[in-house]
Amino acid sequence: MTGDKEKLESYSVLEKGKKVSFGNDTPTVIKGKGTAQLKEKVKAGNVLYVDGLKHNLLSVSRMCDQGTKVIIQSNGCSVRDLDTGETVIKGRRTPNNLYIFEEGQQQCYLSKDDEHWLWHRRLGHLSFSQIRKACKYQAIHGLPDIKIPDNTICKSCQFGKQTRTNFPEKEGSASKPLELVHTDVCGPFRTRSPRGEEYFILFIDDFSRMVWLGLMKHKDEAFEKFKAFKALAENELDRKIKCLRSDRGGSLPQMNFSIFVKNME
């Protein structure tokens, strides 16, 4: 992967370029691909051109696919030709744990991760202000002087702090009262009401969010409660209930309701 188009031979534009994202999570479009000359006899095929990429990244898997062996050791790395066994490129490891191929003025990174984001993840997604504090007091052995990046929004941190996911787009909601009524039966509860009820049924008007509640001694009373609610609500609002929706069919005594719906038709 490179941000320098000049490096690529036999360059071709990728029409619907896929996107890649880096440490700051900003997606960048892959604009094209070509072949890059790494050394006199070494080429890397399928090198992607990503506009704005500041470093050249070399994929270990791609290098292996094109007939070389990549050896990564604690002090450095090397690329060997599988046919001849000859070491074609040598790289060194930096104090930031990156493996770098140096070629004159040009640098080619095996893996590059923004240092501040790397440390943010290493320290269990610690906030940058705390990382700065740790740098200031030299509280962590080996921690380099981390600067706070311009964009400190971390996707994983956001997800971690979120208590619930976004509400899905509301579907089929009502535009008038009684157009859609939600219902649910709850219970049995351990503590009964003074009159001995241990269930309740809810009717919620989707449009107004008005809630009616009926207490019940048994689930079977749900249908009677519905009839009472229906008569009351329809009389009060002078309109008919068009749709009754229950999320858990099992909690409502199905039989009575289906007979009732048939009689209404």
Taking the least distance from each CB to Zn ion, the nearer of 156 and 173 is 156
Pull the structure tokens for residue 252.
């409502």
Taking the least distance from each CB to Zn ion, the nearer of 160 and 172 is 160
Query: Shortest Cβ distance from residue 121 to Zn ion (Å)?
Result: 7
Query: Which residues of this chain interact with Zn ion, rule CB under 5 A?
Result: 125, 154, 156-157
Residues 6+ apart with CB under 8 A from 233: 178, 181, 203, 205, 212, 241
Nearest to 184 by CA among 128, 261, 246, 127: 246
Taking the least distance from each CB to Zn ion, the nearer of 20 and 157 is 157
Query: Shortest Cβ distance from residue 126 to Zn ion (Å)?
Result: 8
Taking the least distance from each CB to Zn ion, the nearer of 17 and 23 is 23
Residue type, 250: G
Taking the least distance from each CB to Zn ion, the nearer of 125 and 242 is 125
Beta strands in 19-143 (DSSP E): 19-21, 27-37, 43-50, 68-72, 76-81, 87-93, 99-103, 106-109
Report the residue number whose CB is nearest to Zn ion. Answer: 154
Is residue 179 a contact partner of residue 206, using CB atoms and an 8 Å limit?
yes
209-213 contacts at long range (C-beta below 8 A, 24 or more positions apart): 210/177
Could you give the 3-state DSSP secondary structure of residue 108? strand
Query: Shortest Cβ distance from residue 124 to Zn ion (Å)?
Result: 9
Query: Shortest Cβ distance from residue 240 to Zn ion (Å)?
Result: 53
Query: Shortest Cβ distance from residue 157 to Zn ion (Å)?
Result: 3
